[in-house]
């Protein structure tokens, strides 16, 4: 295809990267073997370092590494201070402080065992590597390209996001300009009042900007081919998402697994279908939308396969296996025991999983200048961030 | 109350209300999973978050498609984009400084002026844009979008008031919503925050009440400072900037509304 | 192509109709100029062509407009997008996406153009406007002229039959404006578009125009030939003013035509203004301003004298703004600055503004209070002046602004006056103005000229950065020419402007080699009794 022979489209489809990362995430979720987790993490970082572009988001993986380290440190800290006591191998002991009754009988400190620490570290490592999977997807997938793949039903919402993305750096410039201009009026306004003197002109300016933007969009035929929503699409979408929620509820609170998964799948498929239906009212076309190609399927497949391998092995019953097969597959190696303490083992299928993590290297080329220069503007917003804190889980 | 959706027929309004109501139900269920996760299901607590991270995007897609498509005129959409850009710029400015979060006051004020639907859309889209631009996409994103959306949604449903009373109302709502946002997010991500092996961890085998008790302690111990910081920031910003910002937003709402009748008159031939 | 039939429009919250029973028609392939003072309804007239008025703006509308047979009252602007391309005043504010290519494709996406066709048309449009090398660049990083061309390309890609442009060059320097205007004339001649253009730099386009719409300001519109209408209009580009002074019945549409007509007319050169070097107000040596790797100002030395108006001319990005901000002490910079024995950089902001006042390019950046009155009161406090000082200054500037008006509802000229009053309340010895003429019409510029003269005669040293050669010629006594962060020429305005090719005002071109700058000079040279 002649059309595809351009820089932007050389890169992998962003959703393919996401599918790959989510697959690995599922695999990671299915193990606490620290050796396997460490190898997967190494493979992830390796892929990211070799395949990331020069775009600002490509640097985000470092923040996720820091975040992972932070998660492990916090978990260990909580385990030491308020951890549940398991195992007998006492490493050291802290003075024990029982809290009053209203605090549910919690005891601070006390003896710290190797078993409890090992369990915590394994578990925290799993979360850290999971975060790294997300970090890898964030670093490799072009978010703007992904935005173009939004379903048509969300066209207006994604238009608002596009507007926000392009206006954000302009707002920073306008803020800097106002800040500079403020000085020429003297510094008699202090503290929070001076905050008003900066925020208000920028805000007023941006509101006026939204009016001229709206005029521009209207004059250029924004969503012109828009009709009324297809009848029934909302009903379908709402009932589907309710069904999916019900499925999730049943899945978590009962042991009717089949019913639950059924509801979930039907709900999700129904919602997807509803979105398609709702999108029909719109006939807008997309300029240079990234096509989904064989390579994208292959890379997604790697992630999916990694998940399938780990889940299949994890689901095996060791008693059903012959000795040689057990030697080969060893389902227990995915969850090495920490009480009693054992040294984690690697098995052949685990190496296969690590291989699948690194596999995209074989089918993708190095992204050169694959990103449009516009993303330089994103750096402005990112540079406002004082620390590498990405998760606002608090 | 002025609303960009003010001129839509009743049937549309019903649709929007229906969609918002179902979002509230699904949202509440997904945040409350620690209350109903049963050990017999064989699901681990971390998996619960993922299950709902799968369901929530569908709900968000449903509600955002309903709120924006066909109903919101181009002025409201542009305003949505510009205000979301404002929040996107303010969010990284404030991250990391103990709860000093600058985005919520804007979502609250906009929700108040432009109504619940706009408030919800603004909350959700602000968090989405911000995540795109700062590489913060993950399973937490749908949770953040929906809870920030609720902050804007309920701001739009606050009772009528004006002058000082309105400011006081919004400031108290700002404090309340800051705590609620923190609690809901912490509750849903409980096992991620602290793991499963401490005395303050979620325990699927324990009763919901015991778990709630534990959660309160966990939250007091770990996030009180953040939540309080966020609450105070909201209240202070609303008290200080509320009046002029409300005036600015209302002025633009009035200007956008003025266009209504002329269009109706000139196209109804 | 475009027919207005008894069109009237009144904005909401306004008693006077902006357009009052307007009728005219334009034929296909015409280039029509729309002229009139600020507030006369130019933008309303242009917006009515694609239905933004009244569908988007609201208000009471009557009459009928047909564009290529389509009735704009029955079609919303989005339904006319394939017929009328509309480019608003400030292109940056109308951009929806963030790269050149995406922006050009945006309109076609909305119209549902097939992807293959879209690719082809994007390429064609990029070439047509000569911006192919910019395709991947972020829109915010482009220069003003490039942004304007992208905005035009973005509407052209949808292949409209009519192109409507609202003051496309108001924010551009002379060179960029010439680029944009020549691109527009090319479109008229080679693509056969019908173009309706509101433009205040008439001197550059009037020779290419087929007809003109003149809006005197009372709601009426007159349609006719450029030369005839200009002779009557209250819009006076220099050549029109010259025609009035010399009593020509029609206005010459180009310098070339004016030169032919003016042969034989003897005028005396502008009298040398004695360079009365009064008190030195500002002395700066070897100023250096850097932004990262970029040297915005490089080794600039200058002197400003009390009671003198100095203009800085140069392209956009030549370092004019940075120089002004540096002189105010608001930028970190190397070199020496001395204002009345003090260095503004070492003073705190309050003391600095009592020494040097600066009016920034976007005057609205300084305004944040709800009413004119509140802003004036706040300025009194900031300047530690007695209450009412700023309001009194505003009156002295000849502006009667309603005290309860929101500053954002003021016109450009009024807002500029308000900010001037706020900054002058501190009683500074030096006044710096950054691009003050942006968005001002001929009359507002003349008023600003008077205000500046008044303050200069009271002993204030004034420095204006501008790319408006005619304004600099009329206002300033001294001139600095900046390029690439350096001052490339400095001296009396009359000497510099008459000897420059790029920066000579039209009168100088018409009467070259006689040294005249403005129509006033010509008038003085004529009426004076010959020696």
What is the tens place of the pLDDT at every residue in A96-121?
887 777 766 677 778 888 888 898 89
**A to B CB pairs, distance under 8 Å:** 334
Are C171 and C317 in the same domain?
no
Which residue of A104, A147, A234 is in closest CB contact with B217?
A104
User: Among A222-226, A349-353, B42-46, B183-187, whose mean pLDDT is lowest?
Assistant: A222-226
Residue range C287-304, pLDDT digits in tens: 888 887 788 888 899 989
Identify the band that residue C514 occupies on the pLDDT scale cut at 50, 70 and 90.
confident
Q: Is A163 on the interface with C (CB under 8 A)?
A: yes
Domain ranges of chain A: 1-149+291-394, 151-225, 227-281
Residue range A35-91, pLDDT digits in tens: 999 999 999 999 998 888 777 777 788 888 988 898 899 888 888 887 777 778 888
Spatial contact of A60 and A139, defined as CB atoms under 8 Å apart: yes
Residue C337 pLDDT > 70: yes
Disruptive mutation site among A8, A156, A219, A227 for chain C (greatest number of C CBs within 10 Å): A219
Are C63 and C139 in the same domain?
yes
Identify the band that residue C122 occupies on the pLDDT scale cut at 50, 70 and 90.
very high
pLDDT of residue C530: 45
Q: What is the CATH number of the domain that holds C113?
A: 3.40.50.300
Q: In this structure, is residue C84 part of a structural domain?
A: yes
Q: In this structure, is residue C268 part of a structural domain?
A: no
Which residue's entry shows tokens 């991250």?
Answer: B95
Which residue's entry shows tokens 């306008």?
Answer: A174
Identify the band that residue C340 occupies on the pLDDT scale cut at 50, 70 and 90.
confident
User: Among A68-77, A256-265, B66-75, B83-92, whose mean pLDDT is lowest?
Assistant: B66-75
Does A216 contact C136 at a Cβ distance shorter than 8 Å?
Answer: no
Residue B120 pLDDT > 90: yes
Residue C134 pLDDT > 80: yes
Identify the band that residue C318 occupies on the pLDDT scale cut at 50, 70 and 90.
confident
Count CB atoms within 10 A of the CB of residue A99.
Answer: 14
Q: What is the pTM of this model?
A: 0.88
Identify the band that residue C275 occupies on the pLDDT scale cut at 50, 70 and 90.
low
Residue C146 pLDDT > 60: yes
| Mean pLDDT value of segment A347-361 | 91
Between C511 and C274, the higher pLDDT residue: C511
pLDDT of residue A384: 60
Identify the band that residue C180 occupies on the pLDDT scale cut at 50, 70 and 90.
confident
Which residue of C81, C348, C382 is in closest CB contact with A224?
C81
DSSP code for A83: B
Residue A263 pLDDT > 90: yes
Give the integer Cα–Cα distance in Å for A11 and A2: 16
CA distances from C51 to B263, C9, C20, C41, C216 (A): 10, 12, 17, 15, 23
Residue range A208-235, pLDDT digits in tens: 888 889 999 999 888 776 566 667 888 8
User: Among A182-196, B255-269, C205-219, C379-393, whose mean pLDDT is lowest?
Assistant: B255-269
Spatial contact of C512 and C498, defined as CB atoms under 8 Å apart: yes
Which residue of B247, B262, B263 is in closest CB contact with C370?
B247
Give the integer Cα–Cα distance in Å for C432 and C422: 13
In terms of Cα–Cα distance, which of C262, C222, C216, C223 is closest to C239? C262
Does A201 contact C93 at a Cβ distance shorter than 8 Å?
Answer: no
Which residue of B59, B64, B196 is in closest CB contact with A123?
B196
Give the integer Cα–Cα distance in Å for A393 and B192: 9
Does C88 contact A212 at a Cβ distance shorter than 8 Å?
Answer: yes
Residue B4 pLDDT > 50: no
Which residue of chain C comes nearest to B268, CA vs CA?
Answer: C74
Residue C162 pLDDT > 90: yes
pLDDT of residue C454: 87
| Mean pLDDT value of segment A166-170 | 86
Structural domain that includes position C316? 281-500
Disruptive mutation site among C46, C98, C160, C332 for chain A (greatest number of A CBs within 10 Å): C98
Residue C8 pLDDT > 60: yes
Provide CB contacts within 8 A for C499, sequence distance 6+.
none
Q: In this structure, is residue C254 part of a structural domain?
A: no
Residue A368 pLDDT > 60: no
- Nearest chain C CA: its distance from A53 CA (Å): 16
pLDDT of residue A376: 55
Number of structural domains chain C divides into: 2
pLDDT of residue C531: 42
Residue B97 pLDDT > 60: no
SS3 label, residue A35? helix
pLDDT of residue A77: 87
| Mean pLDDT value of segment A298-317 | 90
Helix (H) or strand (E) holding C11: none
Domain ranges of chain B: 12-257
Residue A357 pLDDT > 90: yes
Which residue's entry shows tokens 């429009």?
Answer: C9
Residue range B190-241, pLDDT digits in tens: 887 777 777 788 888 888 888 888 888 888 887 888 888 889 989 998 998 8
| Mean pLDDT value of segment C73-78 | 88
Spatial contact of A194 and A175, defined as CB atoms under 8 Å apart: no
| Domain made up of B12-257: CATH architecture | Orthogonal Bundle (1.10)
Spatial contact of C11 and C219, defined as CB atoms under 8 Å apart: no
Q: Is A188 on the interface with C (CB under 8 A)?
A: yes
Give the integer Cα–Cα distance in Å for C358 and C370: 22
Does B267 contact C76 at a Cβ distance shorter than 8 Å?
Answer: yes
- Nearest chain A CA: its distance from B49 CA (Å): 10
Q: How much is the CA Rg of chain B, to the nearest whole Å?
A: 20
User: Among A186-190, B165-169, C487-491, whose mean pLDDT is lowest?
Assistant: A186-190
User: Among B31-35, B249-253, C314-318, whose mean pLDDT is lowest?
Assistant: C314-318
Are C297 and C161 in the same domain?
no
Does C55 contact B247 at a Cβ distance shorter than 8 Å?
Answer: no
Helix (H) or strand (E) holding C518: none
Which residue of chain C comes nearest to B246, CA vs CA?
Answer: C370
Identify the band that residue B264 occupies on the pLDDT scale cut at 50, 70 and 90.
very low
pLDDT of residue B267: 33
Are C219 and C303 in the same domain?
no
Residue C118: list chain A partners with CB under 8 A: 285, 287
For chain B, what is the mean pLDDT? 83
For chain C, what is the mean pLDDT? 86
pLDDT of residue B259: 52
CA distances from A136 to A305, A319, C319 (A): 18, 37, 43
Give the integer Cα–Cα distance in Å for C213 and B225: 66
Between C91 and A246, the higher pLDDT residue: A246
pLDDT of residue A23: 94
| Mean pLDDT value of segment B99-110 | 84
| Mean pLDDT value of segment C436-445 | 82
**Angle, vertex CA C18, rays to CA C13 and CA C21, nearest 5:** 125
pLDDT of residue C367: 87
Q: How much is the CA Rg of chain A, to the nearest whole Å?
A: 26
Residue range A334-350, pLDDT digits in tens: 888 887 888 888 888 89
CA distances from C218 to C57, C409, C445 (A): 20, 20, 21
Q: Which residues pair with A8 in a beta bridge?
A: none
Q: Percent of chain C, pLDDT > 90?
A: 18
């Amino acid at each position: 295809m002649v059309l595809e022979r351009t820089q932007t489209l050389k890169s992998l489809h962003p959703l393919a990267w996401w599918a790959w990362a989510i697959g690995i995430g599922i695999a990671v979720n299915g193990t606490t073997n620290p050796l396997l987790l460490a190898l997967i993490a190494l493979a992830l970082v390796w892929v990211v370092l070799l395949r990331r572009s020069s775009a600002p988001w490509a640097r985000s993986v470092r923040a996720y590494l820091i975040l992972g380290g932070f998660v492990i440190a916090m978990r260990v800290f909580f385990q030491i201070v308020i951890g549940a006591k398991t195992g007998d191998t006492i490493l050291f002991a802290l003075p024990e402080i029982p809290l009053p009754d209203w605090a549910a009988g919690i005891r601070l400190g006390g003896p710290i065992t190797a078993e409890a620490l090992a369990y915590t570290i394994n578990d925290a490592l799993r979360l850290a590597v999971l975060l790294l999977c997300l970090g890898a997807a964030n670093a490799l997938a072009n978010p703007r390209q992904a935005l173009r793949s939004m379903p048509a039903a969300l066209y207006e919402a994604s238009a608002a996001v596009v507007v926000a993305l392009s206006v954000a750096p302009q707002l920073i410039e306008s803020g800097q300009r106002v800040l500079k201009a403020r000085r020429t009026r003297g510094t008699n306004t202090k503290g929070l009042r001076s905050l008003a003197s900066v925020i208000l002109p920028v805000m007023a300016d941006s509101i006026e900007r939204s009016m001229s933007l709206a005029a521009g969009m209207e004059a250029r035929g924004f969503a012109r081919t828009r009709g009324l929503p297809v009848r029934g699409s909302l009903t379908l979408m709402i009932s589907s998402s309710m069904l999916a929620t019900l499925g999730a509820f049943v899945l978590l609170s009962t042991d009717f697994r089949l019913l639950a998964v059924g509801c979930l799948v039907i709900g999700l498929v129904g919602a997807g279908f509803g979105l398609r239906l709702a999108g029909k009212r719109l006939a807008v076309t997309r300029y240079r939308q990234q096509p989904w190609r064989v390579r994208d399927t292959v890379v997604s497949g790697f992630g999916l396969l990694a998940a399938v391998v780990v889940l299949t092995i994890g689901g095996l019953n060791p008693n059903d296996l012959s000795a040689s097969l057990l030697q080969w597959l060893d389902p227990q190696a995915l969850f090495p025991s920490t009480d009693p303490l054992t040294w984690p083992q690697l098995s052949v299928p685990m190496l296969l999983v690590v291989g699948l993590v690194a596999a995209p290297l074989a089918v993708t080329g190095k992204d050169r200048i694959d990103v449009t220069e516009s993303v330089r503007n994103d750096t402005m917003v990112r540079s406002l961030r004082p620390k590498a804190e990405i998760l606002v889980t608090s | 109350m002025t609303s960009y959706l003010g001129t839509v027929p009743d049937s549309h309004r019903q649709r929007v209300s229906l969609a918002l109501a179902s979002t509230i139900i699904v949202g509440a269920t997904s945040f409350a999973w620690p209350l109903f996760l049963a050990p017999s299901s064989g699901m681990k607590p971390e998996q619960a978050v993922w299950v709902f991270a799968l369901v929530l995007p569908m709900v968000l897609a449903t509600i955002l498609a309903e709120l924006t498509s066909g109903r919101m005129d181009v002025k409201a959409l542009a305003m949505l984009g510009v205000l979301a850009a404002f929040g996107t710029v303010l969010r990284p400015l404030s991250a990391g400084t103990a709860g000093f979060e600058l985005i919520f006051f804007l979502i609250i004020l906009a929700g108040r002026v432009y109504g619940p639907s706009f408030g919800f859309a603004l909350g959700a889209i602000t968090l989405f844009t911000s995540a795109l631009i700062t590489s913060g996409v993950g399973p937490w994103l749908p949770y953040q979008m929906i809870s920030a959306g609720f902050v804007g949604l309920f701001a739009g449903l606050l009772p009528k008031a004006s002058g000082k009373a309105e400011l006081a109302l919004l400031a108290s709502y700002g404090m309340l919503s800051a705590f609620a946002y923190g609690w809901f997010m912490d509750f849903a991500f409980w096992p991620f925050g602290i793991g499963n092996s401490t005395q303050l961890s979620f325990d699927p085998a324990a009763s919901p009440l015991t778990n709630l008790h534990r959660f309160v302690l966990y939250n007091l111990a770990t996030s009180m400072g953040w939540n309080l910081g966020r609450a105070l920031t909201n209240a202070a910003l609303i008290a200080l900037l509320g009046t002029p910002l409300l005036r600015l937003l209302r002025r633009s709402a009035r200007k956008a509304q003025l266009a209504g009748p002329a269009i109706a008159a000139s196209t109804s031939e | 192509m475009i027919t207005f039939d008894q069109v009237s429009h009144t904005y909401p919250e306004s008693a006077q109709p902006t357009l009052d029973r307007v009728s005219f028609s334009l034929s296909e392939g015409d280039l029509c100029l729309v002229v009139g003072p600020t507030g006369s309804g130019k933008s309303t007239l242009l917006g009515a062509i694609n239905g933004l008025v009244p569908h988007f703006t609201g208000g009471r509308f009557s009459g009928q407009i047909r564009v290529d047979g389509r009735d704009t009252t029955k079609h919303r602007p989005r339904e006319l997008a394939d017929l009328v391309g509309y480019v608003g005043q400030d292109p940056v504010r109308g951009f929806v996406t963030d790269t050149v290519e995406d922006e050009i494709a945006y309109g076609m996406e909305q119209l549902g153009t097939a992807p293959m066709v879209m690719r082809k048309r994007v390429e064609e449009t990029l070439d047509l406007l000569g911006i192919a090398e910019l395709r991947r660049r972020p829109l915010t990083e482009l220069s003003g002229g490039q942004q304007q061309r992208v905005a035009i390309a973005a509407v052209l890609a949808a292949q409209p039959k009519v192109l409507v442009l609202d003051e496309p060059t108001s924010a551009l320097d002379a060179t960029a404006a010439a680029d944009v205007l020549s691109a527009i004339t090319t479109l008229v001649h080679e693509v056969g578009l019908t173009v309706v253009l509101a433009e205040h730099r008439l001197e550059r386009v009037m020779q290419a125009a087929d007809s003109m719409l003149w809006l005197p300001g009372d709601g009426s519109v007159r349609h006719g030939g450029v030369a005839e209408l200009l002779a009557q209009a209250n819009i006076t580009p220099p050549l029109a003013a010259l025609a009035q002074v010399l009593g020509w019945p029609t206005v010459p549409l180009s310098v070339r035509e004016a030169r032919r007509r003016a042969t034989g007319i003897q005028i005396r050169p502008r009298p040398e203004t004695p360079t009365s070097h009064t008190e030195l107000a500002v002395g700066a040596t070897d100023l250096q301003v850097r932004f990262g790797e970029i040297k915005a100002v490089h080794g600039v030395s200058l002197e400003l004298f009390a009671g003198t108006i100095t203009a800085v001319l140069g392209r956009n990005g030549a370092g004019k703004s940075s120089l002004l901000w540096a002189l105010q002490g608001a930028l970190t910079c190397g070199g020496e600055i001395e204002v009345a024995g003090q260095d503004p950089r070492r003073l705190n902001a309050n003391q600095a503004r009592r020494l040097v006042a600066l009016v920034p390019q976007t005057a609205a950046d300084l305004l944040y209070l709800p009413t004119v009155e509140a802003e004036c009161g706040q300025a009194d406090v900031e300047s530690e002046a007695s209450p009412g000082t700023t309001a009194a200054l505003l009156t002295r500037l000849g502006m009667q602004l309603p005290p309860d008006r929101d500053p954002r509802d003021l016109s450009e000229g009024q807002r500029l006056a308000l900010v001037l009053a706020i900054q002058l309340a501190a009683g500074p010895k030096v006044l710096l103005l950054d691009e003050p003429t942006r968005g001002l019409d001929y009359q507002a510029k003349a008023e600003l000229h008077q205000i500046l003269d008044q303050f200069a005669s009271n002993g204030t040293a004034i420095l204006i950065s501008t790319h408006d050669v005619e304004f600099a010629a009329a206002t300033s006594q001294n001139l600095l020419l900046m390029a690439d962060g350096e001052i490339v020429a400095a001296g009396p305005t009359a000497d510099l402007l008459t000897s420059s090719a790029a920066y000579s005002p039209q009168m100088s071109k018409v009467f070259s080699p006689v040294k005249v700058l403005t129509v006033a000079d010509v008038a003085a040279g004529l009426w004076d009794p010959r020696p």
